[in-house]
Amino acid sequence: MMPGEHVEPKDRSTVQTLLRLWPYVKPVRKRLFGAALVAIVASSVGLVIPLVLKWIVDGPVADRDPGGVWLGALYLLLLGIGEAGLFGVRRWLVARPLAGVEAAMRADLYRHLQRLPVAFHDRWASGQLLSRATTDLMLLRQFLAFPLTFLLVNGATILIGFVILLMQQWTLGLVLLAPAVPMMIICWVFETKFSTVARRAQDQVGDLTTVVEESVLGIRIIKGFGRHRSQALAFRSLSERLRTTELAKARLLAGIWSAITLLPELAIGAALVLGTVQVANGDLSAGTLVAFLSTALALRWPVESIGFLLAMSQESATATERFFEVMDVAEEVDAPTADGLAREGGSARGEMVFEGVEFRYPDADPGSVPVLSRIDLRIRPGETMALVGATGSGKTTLTALVPRLHEATAGRITLDGTDITTMSRERLRELVSVAFEEPTLFSASVGENVLMGAEGAGDDQLHRALDIAQADFAHDLPEGVDTQVGEQGLSLSGGQRQRLALARAVVGQPRFLVLDDPLSALDVHTEALVEAALRQVLARTTAIVVAHRPSTVMLADRVALLSEGRIAAVGTHQELLRTSAEYAWLMSGAEGAPDAPAQDTDGAFPGRSADDLLAEKGTR
């Protein structure tokens, strides 16, 4: 279970939780209140029907007047049509505005997710976020359309109905009121237990969504390693957990339905016996008894629906809680200071400086060893700096600090003398362009994917970027640059995806360029062509390039060796080959680890120079 997937619910009542929806409901409150009023009138019309029955029984039926019976039947028909029409009007009043409420909440959630720090997305499973944006919001729309209205309507109907019952025959009315107290206790117990189970079920839906999403995106791995059976077993296990939870919900619902149905039925039975005795004794008219029982039966649905409405309300409160768990996470906030780079002031255009930069992940213990420690590095205007280091040394993390995908824990990074934390992220990300080792493409056309790198760029910039990235294959696709690449770009090869990601990074001709091993998926010949074109781009920009191969390092003016989160050495490729055993070992690809104490005066390994190591690599 990933951290952040299942958050402990806040200690709020159901009503307090649901009241958080008010800002979204407020714009459509008039239609909602209007719909509730119409539904109350419709229910009140239904309560008039027993009074008409009383008139028919005590009047036309007792007087043997067929004309009066037909007139009464007409009244009943008109009342039924009126009741049905009013409920139709209620539905019409709420359908459109509540669809708008759901759309507004979904748009706000999506917008908020785009503004949350990368660290948040690292912690949260995507399936949990998807379930909040789909299943939970659908539950909330249904709650606002039906349970919310009918909690008010049924409450008003029950109140009006019992007033009518007490006015008709107060002794029988008190009999029907007898189950009220035990039913309230039952509802309170039900709500307490159901809230826990409902939350568990909705979290498990998120877990299940995560597994499905990962299985679809990783279908090549599953098939390639023949892991379909183990994935199916994992899915079945989660499905069984969800099934068990849903059965627990069903048992609770069955219990409250049984209690809420049984107690009123017993009360109605007792009232029927007592009323029959009163009619037999002449203390009550037959019409009054018919009207009383008809009213009591009309109240059956409002009373029996309490369990169903409470269950939906509790699920909606849980959905609201889950929605605001995400919405309550603080967004990335820009400091309210002037943008120095926007004025083109400060030091030389294109300088990038790291001053005492330190980084540890937000969920790391305060006393833990930082991922990056005391990074001091100056990249001159127009210079390309290669970052070299063993796996886990912090290269990718360091590059992520420049566009503020992560925030430095200490120290600062300046661009042209301006601290990046004083710049708006929008401006910073216009100046700094990135290409990651794992290229991510979207379900859009080739051209749309590339032009995401520069707002407002046109066809000329697109074709130039494709040329630089040696991505001319795009023109040979079925619809050229308008070809849809499909989800994650999986219809393309790894090298093609990486070239498009590189084209996206350079299309806007950025002042600062951050490339995380951008050529790792290319064959030797394509790599040479991309490098030749990339040199022209790097000559006009300040760049950091994470490199693992000598060919990529050769693109750089200088190299920074990163070792265990610290800058161990800075110099040209040849200088580091002579002075750093670790660097020579990394470039040679030799097995084992460098033995620093055993290095000779030139910094290479005893008896073998760095050139020997590189030559040895070439003979493999």
| 415 and 479 share one domain | yes
* Tokens standing for residue 13: 């009542």
Report the amino acid identity of residue 489. Answer: G
Do both 136 and 239 map to the same domain?
Answer: yes
Number of structural domains the chain divides into? 3
What's the rounded mean pLDDT across residues 271-298?
81
Tens of pLDDT along 155-210?
Answer: 888 888 888 888 878 888 888 888 888 888 888 888 888 888 888 888 888 888 88
Whether 560 and 583 map to the same domain: the answer is no
Query: Which secondary-structure segment (H or E) carries 373?
Result: strand 372-379
The reply to whether 599 falls in a domain is yes
Q: Domain for residue 335, yes or no? A: no
Whether residue 161 sits in one domain with residue 65? yes
Who's near 149: CB < 8 A, 6+ residues apart? 32, 35, 36, 39, 90, 94
pLDDT digits (tens, 9 = 90+) for 8-50: 555 667 888 888 989 998 888 888 888 878 877 877 777 777 7
If asked whether residues 313 and 389 sit together in one domain, one would say no
pLDDT tens for 236-275 read 888 899 999 989 988 888 888 888 888 888 888 888 888 8
Query: Percent of the chain, pLDDT > 90?
Result: 9
pLDDT for 335 = 61
Which phi and psi (to 5°) does residue 239 adopt?
-65, -40
Q: Give 100-153 pLDDT, tens digit per residue.
A: 888 889 999 999 988 888 888 888 888 888 888 888 898 888 888 778 877 887
- Cα–Cα distance between 296 and 267 in angstroms, integer? 10
Phi, psi of 562 (to 5 degrees): -105, 125
Among the listed ranges 88-92, 239-243, 460-464, which one has the minimum average pLDDT value? Answer: 88-92
In a domain, 382, yes or no: yes
Distance, in Å, from the CA atom of 617 to the CA atom of 620, rounded to the nearest integer, reads 6
**pLDDT tens for residues 377-403?**
999 998 989 999 888 888 888 988 998
In this structure, the chain runs to a length of 620
The structure tokens listed for 81 are 């049509």
Return the structure tokens found at 153: 């309507």
Residue range(s) defining the domain that contains residue 592 = 573-620
Q: Return the CATH number at 171.
A: 1.20.1560.10
Claim to verify: residue 587 and residue 560 sit in the same structural domain:
no
Closest CA to 494 of 576, 539, 448, 439: 439
Asked if 614 and 525 sit in the same domain, the reply is no
Average pLDDT in the chain: 80
Residue type, 219: I
Relative to beta strand 542-546, strand 384-389 is parallel
Do residues 558 and 579 both lie within one domain? no
* Confidence category of residue 456, pLDDT binned at 50, 70, 90: confident
Q: Pick from 294, 327, 360: which residue ends a domain? A: 327
| More confident of the two residues 491 and 477 | 477
Query: One-letter amino acid identity for 100?
Result: G
Indicate if 584 and 543 belong to the same structural domain. Answer: no
The answer to the question of residue 510 being in a domain is: yes
* DSSP H or E segment with residue 355: strand 352-359
Rg (the chain; Cα; Å): 36
- SS3 assignment for 531-567: HHHHHHHHCCCEEEEECCCHHHHCCCCEEEEEECCEE
> In this structure, is residue 321 part of a structural domain?
yes
Amino acid at 104: A
CA 238 from chain center: how many Å?
Answer: 20
Whether residue 333 is contained in a domain is answered as no
Instruction: Provide φ and ψ at 56, rounded to 5°.
Output: -65, -45
Is the pLDDT confidence value at 617 over 60? no
Q: Is 486 helix (H, G, I), strand (E, B) or coil?
A: coil
Does 227 lie in the same domain as 214? yes
- Report the pLDDT averaged over residues 358-379: 85
Residue 50: per-residue pLDDT? 77
354 band by pLDDT with thresholds 50, 70 and 90:
very high
The answer to whether position 334 is within a domain reads: no
Torsion angle in degrees (nearest 10) through CA of 333, 339, 341, 346: -120
Count other Cβ atoms within 10 Å, centred on residue 145. 21
Does residue 389 share a domain with residue 535? yes
Residue 14: how many other CB atoms lie within 10 Å: 18
Rounded CA gap, 458 and 454, in Å? 9
> Quick check: 515 and 436 in contact, CB under 8 A?
no
Q: Are 385 and 558 in contact (CB under 8 A)?
A: yes
Is 526 among the domain residues?
yes
| Residue 319: Cβ within 10 Å count | 27
Q: CA–CA separation, 157 vs 120, rounded Å?
A: 47
**Alpha helix segments (H runs only) across 454-609:** 459-468, 494-506, 524-538, 550-553, 573-579, 581-588
- Give the separation between CA 592 and CA 534, rounded to whole angstroms: 33
CATH code of the domain covering residue 386: 3.40.50.300
* Judgement on whether residues 501 and 560 belong to the same structural domain of the protein: yes
